[in-house]
Amino acid sequence: MSATAKTSSKDALTACKAESTTSCAAHTRVYKAGKLIAEGFPVAQISDYLAKAGTVVWLDLAQPDRADLDVIVEELGLHELAVEDALNESQRPKLDHYEDHLFLSSYVARLDDRTAELTVSEVAAFITSRALVTVRKSPDLDLLPLLQRWDESHAEARSGVGFLLHGLLDLLVDGHFDAVQKLDEQLESLEDVLFDPEPRNQELQRRSFEMRKSLVLLRRVVLPMREVVNTLLRRDLGIVDERMTPYFQDVYDHVLRAAEWTESLRDLVSTILETNLTLQGNRLNEVMRRLTAWAAILAVTTSVTGFYGQNVPYPGFGKASGFYTSVAVLLVLTGALYVGFKKRGWL
């Protein structure tokens, strides 16, 4: 997109906030015949635009309360249960089908590159035949990239709500895919820690635990999206037309890849932890083998010195020759044991 288009998108966002009639930040757009004909208008004018034939409206509400949603409940005929789900936290990613609209619940995923901690924030959407209303429950979803995606696809804009919904889902799924890719890179660096000559067990266990938590959370976000996108592809819903079907199939392919990648990374984290335990056991066996070898050598020296330390007469007792004989026996036996253990790799 050109610098002029990006600037206009930013200006539009500013205008939306300035002209909003809701207590929360609201952003508005209206399309007709695939062309953007107005944006940044007050929410109260949505009904005027919907009264015109062939128009498609987008409304975004950032962290709204019940009063903010009541502005559009009667206008779009939103179901009470869908409104409650839009206001409540921690919904499962899903697509609910009501009489004259759909309700979508999904998540934005962001991964901290330094700590490998995953944070998710919920995004809900009401989908009708001529309107898309997005409800952001946190400011983590940046609208500027979404507007840029829409502005770059002029031909597909004729598909109306399906076009707007694709831009939203594509942005969310790309975020999931990016988080999985970053976790994969983190795991590669974790493998270097695993096989470091100097054991770093505490760091390995801490990072593995953080990644496992992030992967479990990401799995809860990604896996249900397969059912969501697959349901949207159904022809009886009338949301996705033939022009947009390949684009939604591409999103579905990305969802499948992200889900499969997440599962494989979970298995890899488990493998890394099991390998670490195996390596710890091998290191312990190596240490015990060395200690056993040195204990055998010391046992010989103890036996020889104990024999020659007896208080009874023996050949060389009380003479210098006895001392030299004991030292010679000691050196020969310990030397033979050391050479034998060394050849076997015990020392």
Q: What share of the chain is helix, strand, coil (3-state, %, to 5)?
A: 60, 15, 25
d(CA 187, CA 263): 13
Q: Minimal CA–CA distance to 24: which of 61, 54, 77? A: 61
Share of the chain above pLDDT 70, in %: 88
pLDDT band at 18 (very low <50, low <70, confident <90, very high): very low
* Percentage of residues of the chain with pLDDT beyond 90: 25
Does 155 or 110 have the greater pLDDT score? 110
pLDDT at 95: 93
DSSP H helical ranges for the chain? 3-19, 46-50, 66-76, 80-87, 143-152, 161-194, 201-232, 245-308, 320-343
Per-residue pLDDT band for 234 (boundaries 50, 70, 90) equals confident
For residue 16, what pLDDT band results from cuts at 50, 70 and 90?
A: very low
What's the pLDDT score for residue 163?
A: 92
Alpha-carbon radius of gyration of the chain: 35
Please tell me the predicted confidence (pLDDT) of residue 77: 81
Q: Does residue 154 have a pLDDT over 60? A: yes
Closest to 85 in 3D by CA, of 98, 75, 76: 98
Q: CA 54 from chain center: how many Å?
A: 40
Q: Residue 288: which pLDDT band, with cuts at 50, 70 and 90?
A: confident
Instruction: Name the pTM for this structure.
Output: 0.74
Nearest alpha carbon to residue 227 among 93, 91, 109: 93
Q: Are 302 and 268 in contact (CB under 8 A)?
A: no
Residue 104, strand partner residues? 95, 125
Q: Give 2's pLDDT tier (boundaries 50, 70, 90).
A: very low
The model's confidence at residue 3, banded by pLDDT at 50, 70 and 90, is very low
Please give the pLDDT value at position 236.
Answer: 79
CA dihedral over 72, 78, 83, 85, signed as positive or negative: negative
Q: Which residue has the tokens 């409304």?
A: 59
